[in-house]
Structure 1
Amino acid sequence: MNGKTIAIIEDDKDILELIALHVQKAGFKPKKFTDGESFFRYLSTDMPDVLILDLMLPDMDGLEICKVLRSNPSTAKLPIIILTAKIEETDKIVGLELGADDYITKPFSPRELIARVKAVLRRTSEEETTEEEILKVGDKIVIDVNKMEVYVEGKKVDLTLTEFKILKHLAKKPGWVFSREQLLDAIWGVKKSVIDRTVDVHIKKLRDKLGKAGKLIKSVRGMGYKIEIE
Structure 2
Amino acid sequence: MNTNRILVVDDEEDLCEILKFNLENEGYEVDTANSAEEALKLNISDYSLLLLDVMMGEISGFRMASILKKEKKTASIPIIFITAKDTENDTITGFNLGADDYISKPFSLREVISRVKAVIRRTTNNTEKSSTEQIYFETLVIDITKKKVTIDGEEISLTKKEFEILLLLLQNRGRVFSREDILSKIWSDEVCVLDRTIDVNITRLRKKIGSYGKHVVTRLGYGYCFEC
- TM-score normalised by structure 1 residue count: 0.65
Deviations 1:117-163 (A, max 9, x none): 1101111111111113999xxxxxxxxxxxxxxxxxxxxxxxxxxxx
Classify 1:131/1:204 alpha carbon distance in 2 versus 1 (closer, same or farther; 3 Å): farther
Distance 1:176 1:214 in 2: 8
Following TM superposition, by how much is the alpha carbon of 1:81 offset from its aligned partner in structure 2, in angstroms? 0.2
Aligned length: 181
Distance 2:131 2:95 in 1: 24
Q: Is the 8 A contact 1:179 1:223 kept in 2?
A: no
Following TM superposition, by how much is the alpha carbon of 1:13 offset from its aligned partner in structure 2, in angstroms? 0.8
Give the gaps of 5 or more residues in structure 2.
135-141, 149-159, 206-228
Following TM superposition, by how much is the alpha carbon of 1:206 offset from its aligned partner in structure 2, in angstroms? 7.3
Q: Is the 8 A contact 2:80 2:100 kept in 1?
A: yes
Question: Match of 2:188?
Answer: 215
Following TM superposition, by how much is the alpha carbon of 1:223 offset from its aligned partner in structure 2, in angstroms? 2.3
Question: Match of 2:19?
Answer: 19
Classify 1:122/1:40 alpha carbon distance in 2 versus 1 (closer, same or farther; 3 Å): same
| Superposed counterparts of 1:128-207, under 5 Å | 128-132=127-131, 173=147, 175=160, 177-178=162-163, 199-201=176-178, 204-205=180-181
Superposition RMSD on alpha carbons, in Å? 3.6
Distance 2:82 2:97 in 1: 14
Amino acid at match of 1:200: F
Query: What SS does structure 2 have at the residue aligned with 1:81?
Result: strand
Q: Is the 8 A contact 1:55 1:61 kept in 2?
A: yes
> Sequence identity of aligned pairs in percent?
29
Classify 1:62/1:220 alpha carbon distance in 2 versus 1 (closer, same or farther; 3 Å): same
Distance 2:97 2:172 in 1: 12
Deviations 1:197-229 (A, max 9, x none): x6433x745777x7xx97169965522399xxx
Q: Is the 8 A contact 1:54 1:82 kept in 2?
A: yes
Classify 1:176/1:85 alpha carbon distance in 2 versus 1 (closer, same or farther; 3 Å): same
Is 1:76 matched with 2:61? no
Distance 2:189 2:130 in 1: 22
| Higher relative contact order (CA closer than 8 Å, sequence separation 6+) | 1
Question: Match of 1:54?
Answer: 53
Following TM superposition, by how much is the alpha carbon of 1:60 offset from its aligned partner in structure 2, in angstroms? 0.5
Give the gaps of 5 or more residues in structure 1.
136-168, 189-193
Following TM superposition, by how much is the alpha carbon of 1:182 offset from its aligned partner in structure 2, in angstroms? 8.0
Q: Is the 8 A contact 2:8 2:52 kept in 1?
A: yes
Distance 2:76 2:189 in 1: 27
Classify 1:206/1:60 alpha carbon distance in 2 versus 1 (closer, same or farther; 3 Å): farther
